[in-house]
Structures are given as structure tokens and as C-alpha cells.
Amino acid sequence: MNQGKFIYSQLTDFLPKRIFDGLVNKYQGNKYTKHFTCWNQLLCMIFGQLTGRDSLRDLMVSIEPHAPKYYHLGFGKGSSRSNFANANEKRDYRIFEDYAFYLIEQARKSSIANQDFQLNIDGNVYAFDSTTIDLCLSIFWWAEFRKTKGGIKLHTLYDIKTSIPCFMHVSTASWHDVNALDLLYYEPGGYYILDRGYVDFARLYRINQSLAFFVTRARDNLQYQRMYSNKVRKENGVMLDQIGKLTGFYVSKKYPEKLRRIRFYDEETDNELEFLTNNFVLTSEEIAQLYKYRWKVELFFKWIKQHLKIKSFWGTSLNAVKIQVYSALIAYCLVALVCNKLKIERSTYEILQILSISLLDKTPINELLTNQSYQDVKELYNKQLKINWI
């Protein structure tokens, strides 16, 4: 009989508990708590994410039959559904938010650069965008977006090279995307790829003042005066490459320095795209390729909506929604950490599919997630009965 740890316990061993305890003490998360601590709450939330539970009732029904295993799984003495709901509603979401950001840094340090990224750029490359998650306005009354519609937004800074989100902020859907730029810290030498909805020249100038670079699309009403042009190769799709300044009265005060405008013809979509950037070193083809990588953040949004539980929530308050979103981010970073440290050559999707049905097994996790060849199995024929045909 295998006396080893459960796979879920092996998985959560990669979580630095000392850091989490420090955050709990900082925000007094365990104040007035008798047995169901913040750590027990986090492990239950991660278990629900990895097993794909649709609701809090579904989560409690799935773990209640395993009450004798609570201690080994890290659930403490367990909790009722009402106490779990109260914990999600009242405990400070910043405990889970700060812990998610810490795990993000650990996952990025242990990760290997994505082979899909083919540009020779020294600085980190980020894509910043948001996605909207629709909510029922009669239940999530605080998330009013339209007269009859509610929703939240996930503002995400995505590291293109490591395929790991670096920053995530949850807001109501009525909060404009451009305001989220004020929450970011810009690395000197880093590249930030933005959609056209983030064109605010005062905020773009802040990126420039931070010695970072941005690449975004120009709006149709851009007031721009060319100073001189760079040579272009139209056979590569580059229509023009100009250096100039903004001419509008207000925008010229918000961004008084030079800007680079590039017009590129995309054969795949048969569209002409116009880019704005404060980088004057990269070629125009590299600038166009950089903006093309922005779609990786869109693919990330699609992936987490399909494989993690961030569309159906286990609580109705804003605090409960934020705890669930950051728990999903913690689960994603945990899988990335395990994959990087154990050098698992599987996709994140495959790992989640395997873990979803194996968390209560006692197989060593490295053995479970390693690709095995089933063609090397040797049958023992010497002990089989022989059939003599008459």
C-alpha cells in the first residue's frame, strides 16, 4: 500500500506558506478565527479551481466525503458552506492579491523564455489589455455596467516572453481601460504593447519619462506633423516610417517630444495598420511584429475563461469575486511553478486535465506528469495458459 502524500499535498508543497502567513498577519486575516484559517480557505479555493467546481455548493459537496483526509489535504477541520461564504465575503482580498503577485515573480524567475518569441530584444515585452466578464445585475448589483447589465473587468499585464501574467487588477466594467495605466510600474528598457483604446498622450508620456517604450495604434483623428522620414522596404509591407510631433493644442502639451509613426500593410487581414511608438532604434518590421504579439494576451483571456473558474462565481460581493479571481491566478502560477521546477514537457492545459482527476491519488507528482511510453511494456507470456486446439 502506498503511504505517500496525496498529489494535492505534493502540489501545495510548492506554495511558500511563510510568505502567506506574513500577509495574513499584515491584514489580520485570521482575527476571530477558530479553525478555518486563511490558509485552509486558500487551499480549498485552489482545489475548486483545479477540479473545475461551478459553485460553492458544488465545491462543498465534492470535498465533504473526504473529511478524514482534511488534515492531509490542508483543509483544517473543514467548514460549512455558510462559514466558507462568510470568509470569502469578509476576509481582506489583498491577502490573496499580494500572494498572487509574489507567486507571479517566482514563476517568472523559474520560467524559460518562450520559443515563439523570435525578436532579438533585450528588455522585457509586455502586452496590456482587459477583458469583460458579464454578471447578472440583479445579483451583483454593485457591478452596474448598462441599465440591465453588470460586469467586471480584468486588467492584465502579460509577459510575452514567459507567457505569465505579471499584473492583474479587478474593477467594475464601467471603469475605463485607460485609467488602469496609472496602476502600472514601468520598467526602464521594457516594451509595452497597447491597444488603440489606451491612447492617452499624458499617460504615454509618463511611459516615455520612465525610459520605457510603448507600441500602440494611432487613432484616425491623429494630429501629426512629419519632420523627416526613414527609408522603408515596401515589399515587407511597410508603407511609411516617419518621425514627427503632435500638432494639436492640448495633445502637444501632453506629449511635447518626438513620436514615430509607421504604416504597415497586413496581407493576412488585407488591412493597413498605423502604429505610434517612442522607439527609434528597432526597424519598422520589428515594430509591426511586436504589435502582432499583443494577441497573446487575448489568447490568455480565452484560455483562463475556458479552463479556470472566473465566469461563475462562488460569492456575490466584490470581495468574494476578487478572492476567486486571485485564487485562479494563484492556481495558474502554481501549475507554472511545478512545470518549471520539475521540467515537465507538457502544456498547461494537459497538466490541468491530469490534475483535475488525480488530486486524491498518491502517485509521485513527477511520475504522474512525465510523459511515459506505453510501447515498452513487456508481457509475461511464460505464466499464461496455453490453449490447445483439437
pLDDT digits (tens, 9 = 90+) for 93-109: 999 999 999 999 998 88
Residue 380 has what pLDDT? 42
Does the 196-281 domain belong in CATH 3.30.1370? yes
Beta strands at 259-266 and 271-277: parallel, antiparallel or unpaired? antiparallel
Phi and psi, residue 154, nearest 5°: -110, 105
Buried (b) or exposed (e) across 254-279, using 16+ Cβ within 10 A?
A: ebeeebbbbbbeeeeeeeebbbbbbb
**Crossing angle of the two packed helices 295-307 and 348-356, in degrees rounded to 10:** 10
- Residue 129 parent element (H or E): strand 125-135
Residues 244-279: tens digit of each pLDDT: 999 988 999 999 999 999 999 888 888 889 999 999
Query: Where along the chain do its domains lie?
Result: 7-94+321-366, 196-281
The grid coordinates of residue 301 equal: 483571456
**Cα 104 from Cα 334, distance rounded (Å):** 9
Cβ partners under 8 Å of residue 361, min gap 6: 6, 7, 368
Name the one residue in this structure whose C-alpha cell is 490568455. 300
Amino acid at 199: V
- Whether residue 331 contacts residue 50, with contact meaning beta carbons closer than 8 Å, is answered with yes
Calculate ∠ Cα 283-288-293, nearest 5°. Answer: 125
Confidence of residue 364 (pLDDT cuts 50, 70, 90): confident
Residue 114 has what pLDDT? 63
Residue 267 has what pLDDT? 82
Confidence of residue 115 (pLDDT cuts 50, 70, 90): low
**Cα 56 from Cα 323, distance rounded (Å):** 13
Nearest in space to 74 (alpha carbons), one of 62, 58, 63: 63
